[in-house]
Amino acid sequence: NVKKTMNVVCNLVEKKRPKVLIAGAGLAGLSCAKYLTDRGVEAVVVESRNVLGGKVAAWKDKEGDWYETGLHIFFGAYPNMLQLLRELNIYDRLQWKEHAMIFNNKASDTPSPGQNMSSYSKFVFPSIPAPLNGILAILFSDMLTWKEKLLFARGLIPAIFGGQDYIEDCDKYSWTEWLIRQNIPTRVNDEIFIAMSKALNFINPDEISAMVILTALNRFLRETYGSKMAFLDGNPPERLCRPIVDFIEANGGKVWMKHPLRRIETREDGTVESFVVGNAVGKAEQWRADAYVSALPVDILKMLLPLSWKSIEFFHQLSFLKGVPVINIHLWFDRKLTDVDHLLFSRSNLLSVYADMSNTCREYFDENKSMLELVFAPAAAYISKSDEDIVSVTMKELERLFPQHIGPNAQLPAKLIKYKVVKTPRSVYKTSPGLNSYRPSQVTPISNFFLAGDFTSQQYLASMEGAVLSGKLAAEAVVRYLESRPMDTMESTEVASNQLVIR
Ligand code: FAD
């Protein structure tokens, strides 16, 4: 009897919980569901694929090796991501590296006959407060002449002290234009910022908005550990996303895999009537809730917008945001190519950053063999090429990075055992100059419809941190909306709840 009464009480409590439907189980959708759960809301997530994580998704091949959508780095300047990890008790899954930025030396495209070893240049951040640690890192690096360093440090003053308004105002310039305006020598761009621009948005400095690089530099130079980097200790779906799902489901929510949002049904007043969702056998069902969130990538959201919303300026502006192509390459070798346990900026024409994951990531650790994970960018010219072609040009680039092991002059040749290429034709939105003002807020003109996603407006870039923060902001906006609604309008409740459970 006691058990029965408890069940009834639980059901009653359950009935009082407002329900929110979220489309997309990337970091934005999962973060939104997590923070709604914290506020006593029943969060239901529908995801089209059978893998969690969206742009951090990964898969296991038949030999048990993981391959990923992208090589992912966590920064000290990711307060919302780090807080989420702490809240889930998984902060110790981050493997922090030496506080440094390591660049492959550029030299020529082909190694000179005497060049047998890969050579690196480092910006090492000493353990003293910001911005002094960043300034010393620049001054003591061997990549620039003293004159270049001083001009560079002087030019960076507004990046350090300019504040958010200054940074946003610089969205009108490309990074190259901004450098010219600051009288920073072009060689600084060639030496450092081609690599940084490709790492941040997979495009070159003449294409990227100055705001993007200034945002990163501002965080890196103002926060003592802002640029310190960490790798996750294993594959992101299991080590990062699964604990978020477990949390949501342990608190009454649910994440439905292979349940794509197919259509958004609207009422006469334009508000959302239901999400039409494909079920496990491919049939469409109408799912109703008290509020709805899209945590879809912007390119997919645009395709699913109801016709009647398309003329609304807020939604029309999304047409300016377009995903940029990028390719993530995994190369397994029969021997060790490097013992560097860090991210490397390749400074190669075709590649962006890379890492030997057999050193940097516990789950991928191998004492005797290397697994290079490399970001291939800009990728527009290669995205439709075959995997073989892409690997072939990558191997050519690696002759310069690892002359001792790869190429005709290799003294200790390494054999490529296998490879995996993951193409993302539309990844994060391309941050061309002038687009920042088109990033939508999490609150939309449709009262019961909200947006999350790295492309939405928040002070972090299109990144994991941006995605997590956008989900948190969307959750806060949804809660405000639910709390403001009249008592008799709750979709999922018979007994209206005028108070959300606040834990
Ligand atoms: P997504 O991850 O795109 O999530 C959207 C979800 O919606 C996906 O799960 C998708 O399957 C799902 N979906 C799509 N259509 C439907 C539908 N019809 N119905 C239901 N679900 C649907 N960030 C960093 O911070 N550091 C890095 O080092 C870094 N490196 C990167 C490297 C690469 C190669 C790439 C591609 C990205 C990198 N990023 C990095 C960026 C980061 O991965 C993204 O900013 C972030 O993961 C985006 O999260 P999101 O939830 O906004 O979007």
Report yes or no on whether pTM surpasses 0.90.
yes
pLDDT band (50, 70, 90) for residue 493 = very low
Query: Residue 143 C-alpha to ligand 1 middle, in angstroms?
Result: 34
pLDDT at 113 over 70: no
Are residues 481 and 448 in contact, defined by beta-carbon separation less than 8 angstroms?
Answer: yes
Distance CA 289, CA 385 (A): 43
Q: Does residue 326 have its Cβ closer than 6 Å to ligand 1?
A: yes
Give the H/E segment covering residue 87: helix 79-87
Ligand 1 atom having least distance to the Cα of 377: 34
Query: Residue 56 C-alpha to ligand 1 middle, in angstroms?
Result: 6
What does the pLDDT look like over 405-440, one tens digit per residue? 999 999 999 999 999 999 999 999 999 999 999 999
From 35, 52, 72, the mutation candidate for ligand 1 (largest count of ligand atoms within 8 A of CB) is: 72
Tokens, residue 462: 């299109």
What is the model's pLDDT at position 115? Answer: 58
From 264, 321, 463, 472, the mutation candidate for ligand 1 (largest count of ligand atoms within 8 A of CB) is: 463
What does the pLDDT look like over 266-316, one tens digit per residue? 999 999 999 999 988 889 999 999 999 999 999 999 999 999 999 999 999
Distance CA 377, CA 430 (A): 12
Query: Residue 339 C-alpha to ligand 1 middle, in angstroms?
Result: 30
Alpha-carbon Rg for the chain, nearest whole angstrom, is: 24
Residue nearest to atom 33 of ligand 1 (CA): 70
Query: Residue 223 C-alpha to ligand 1 middle, in angstroms?
Result: 26
Are residues 362 and 95 in contact, defined by beta-carbon separation less than 8 angstroms?
Answer: yes
> Is residue 208 classed exposed, middle or buried when 0-12, 13-18 and 19+ CB atoms within 10 A define those classes?
buried
Instruction: Give the ipTM.
Output: 0.99
Ligand 1 atom having least distance to the Cα of 454: 52
Phi, psi dihedrals of residue 411, rounded to the nearest 5°: -90, -30
